[in-house]
């Protein structure tokens, strides 16, 4: 072998965000979204009740809450995650606090569309008895089901 040839470049793999670090980030984000949810709920609920009263109609609060509440919560979570993960920071506030960011499989920033797919796929991860999240601790690149569906990685920044 010729000694004058340079060695081939080493393949550098990123440090993937591990299970517990991601759990902490998710808990921080959920706390933030719950606060936002209640603020938005109050801003929607009070005007709705006033309009119903002015219109002289009766509002079935249980039906209203059972429809509007979950739809608003799911929408808020999806927009929150997708918006932050597609931003220049590539991370929600919880992920930033835990030293994580979300990339595509090539280390590039996500589009809002791909971040939205990942966010909606998280709902599926929840619906499957959280098995989609447990996969993070079991896969080589620390990917949950939602990461595999959206072809994303969560990597450490520090």
For residues 17 and 156, the answer to whether their CB atoms sit within 8 Å is yes
11 band by pLDDT with thresholds 50, 70 and 90: low
68 band by pLDDT with thresholds 50, 70 and 90: confident
Q: What is the pLDDT of residue 2?
A: 58
138 band by pLDDT with thresholds 50, 70 and 90: very high
Q: What is the pLDDT of residue 93?
A: 98
Helix 112-127 and helix 61-85, axial crossing angle in degrees, nearest 10: 130
pTM of the model: 0.85
Q: What is the pLDDT of residue 142?
A: 97
Is residue 132 pLDDT above 60, yes or no? yes
**Over residues 127-147, mean pLDDT:** 96
Q: What are the residue boundaries of the structural domains of the chain, listed by start?
A: 19-156
Q: What is the pLDDT of residue 1?
A: 54
Q: What is the pLDDT of residue 8?
A: 75
Q: What is the DSSP string of 17-76?
A: PPHHHHHHHHHHHHHHHHHHHHHHHHHHHHHHHHHHHHHT----HHHHHHHHHHHHHHHH
4 band by pLDDT with thresholds 50, 70 and 90: confident
Q: What is the pLDDT of residue 78?
A: 96
Percent of residues, the chain, with pLDDT higher than 70: 97
**Over residues 92-113, mean pLDDT:** 97
Could you give the 3-state DSSP secondary structure of residue 127?
helix
Higher pLDDT among residues 11 and 48, named by residue: 48
**Over residues 112-124, mean pLDDT:** 97
């Amino acid at each position: 072998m010729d000694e004058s040839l340079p060695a081939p470049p080493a393949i550098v793999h990123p440090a993937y965000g591990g299970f517990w670090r991601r759990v902490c980030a998710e808990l921080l984000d959920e706390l933030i979204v719950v606060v936002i949810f209640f603020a938005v709920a109050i801003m929607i609920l009070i005007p709705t009740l006033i309009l119903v009263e002015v219109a002289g109609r009766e509002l079935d609060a249980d039906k209203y809450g059972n429809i509007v509440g979950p739809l608003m919560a799911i929408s808020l979570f999806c927009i929150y995650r997708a918006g932050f993960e597609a931003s220049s920071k590539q991370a929600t506030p919880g992920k930033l606090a835990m030293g994580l960011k979300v990339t595509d499989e090539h280390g590039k920033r996500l589009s809002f569309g791909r971040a939205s797919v990942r966010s909606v796929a998280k709902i599926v991860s929840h619906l499957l008895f959280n098995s989609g999240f447990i996969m993070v601790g079991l896969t080589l690149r620390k990917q949950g089901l939602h990461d595999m569906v959206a072809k994303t990685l969560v990597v450490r920044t520090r």
